[in-house]
Amino acid sequence: MPPLIPALLRLLRPHQWLKNGFVFLGLLFGHAWNDPVRLGQALAAFAAFCLLASAVYVMNDLIDREQDRLHPKKKYRPLAAGTVSVAAATGLAAVCLLAGGAIAWLWAGSAPWVFFAYVVLNIAYSFGLKHVVILDVFIIASGFMLRILAGTLGIGIAPSQWLLLCGLMLTLFLGFAKRRAELNALQADSAGHRRVLEHYTAPMLDQFIGIAAAGTVISYALYTVSAETVALHGTRGLIVTLPFVLYGMLRYLWKLHTRGGGGDPAQELLTDPHLLAATAGWLLLVLLLLGGVTMPRP
């Protein structure tokens, strides 16, 4: 394999495609996994987001390549390290953008505006909004919310307000944890790499993370026991999935504060067996409960 090919693949950050799994939440909680049309649209939405997200990653690396050279880890990225030229990266981003847009328009359901909004939002983020304190993390969370909308509204499934609330709180938690990890990694030179970090402090981010973490756990717990949820899914057992959510979040916080983790949620999930087990356990139990397995009453 030519040396350029692995570098281009790294530039696309394929491990980050895991985040696009948010588009399947509508199928899962909308009981639509047996609908071949909606399943096909969700898969197309997933593919479109993979390509569009990779185009955004390449664009960000192009813009930030000088700053990335100052970062202890990001300096090894292909553009910062000089293993991929600016011209090659620009061409790759254009191909991903066009291919992702075509898939979104033709096969990913009836809401192509969601994908357009995702691209516009990320362009605005890259060219200025990423320097606006707090708003920067809300924009990151908005990208995940658009993925949820693509997998619900986009394929004809009404999104649950609980689903949207849980998704918002979880993605804010991950976003503020990412900023905390960047602050940990860069320490005194943090603002030199990412300008917005000069407006954050460790105690402030810890408070933001605590609020978002509590909001995630509480909103998910209330969702599992709400009358609307019980009526929709025909089970009162979803509450038993809460320990997996709580364990996963506490494990993530532990890694953030003791192991220098938290900067890349996808990488953490793929490399940490505890997070992987908590996610797999949650998903398996949800599938069983939504599939009709009944839980014994105490």
- What is the total count of domains within the chain? 2
Q: Which of 251, 255, 234 is nearest to 243 (CA)?
A: 251
148 and 15: one domain?
Answer: yes
Position 247 scores a pLDDT of 96
CA dist list (Å): 253 to 152, 174, 199: 30, 10, 22
- Note the pLDDT of residue 188: 47
CATH number of the domain encompassing residue 129 = 1.10.357.140
Interacting residues of 250 by C-beta distance below 8 A, sequence separation 6+:
none
| 152 and 178 share one domain | no
Task: Let me know whether 144 and 9 are in one domain.
Answer: yes
| 203 and 146 in a common domain | no
Contact 64, 102 (CB under 8 A): no
The predicted pLDDT at position 82 comes to 81
Same domain? For 74 and 128 the reply is: yes
pLDDT along the chain (298 residues), means of 10: 77 90 91 90 96 93 81 79 86 94 93 94 90 93 94 90 91 94 71 74 94 95 91 90 95 89 85 94 93 57
The predicted pLDDT at position 45 comes to 95
Its pTM stands at 0.89
Q: How far apart are CA 135 and CA 168, in angstroms?
A: 13
**Domain of residue 275, residue span:** 160-298
Task: Say if CB 33 and CB 25 are below 8 A apart.
Answer: no
Per the listing, tokens 């402090």 go with: 201
∠ CA 269-217-186, nearest 5°, is: 50
Residues 150 and 200 both lie in one domain: no
Signed CA dihedral, 281, 287, 293, 297: sign only: positive
Q: Are residues 239 and 117 in the same domain?
A: no
Clarify whether residues 215 and 142 are in a common domain: no
Together in a domain, 14 and 142: yes
User: In this predicted structure, what is the pLDDT of residue 114?
Assistant: 95
Q: Of 159, 181, 213, which closes a domain?
A: 159
Nearest to 245, CA basis, from 219, 272, 273 = 219
Residues 54 and 108 in one domain: yes
Residues 102, 218 within the same domain: no
52 plus 171 within the same structural domain: no
Predicted pLDDT of residue 134:
94
Residue at 69: amino acid letter: R
H helices of the chain, in order, are 4-12, 25-29, 36-68, 78-81, 86-106, 112-126, 135-150, 161-186, 190-193, 202-225, 227-233, 242-258, 265-271, 273-290
Q: Give the burial string for 153-191 (b: 16+ CB within 10 Å, else e).
A: bbbbbebbebbbbbbbbbbbbbbbbbbbbbbbbbeeebe
Among the candidates 159, 184, 217, a domain finishes at: 159
The two structure tokens encoding residue 54: 């990779």
Q: Domain boundary residue among 121, 139, 159?
A: 159
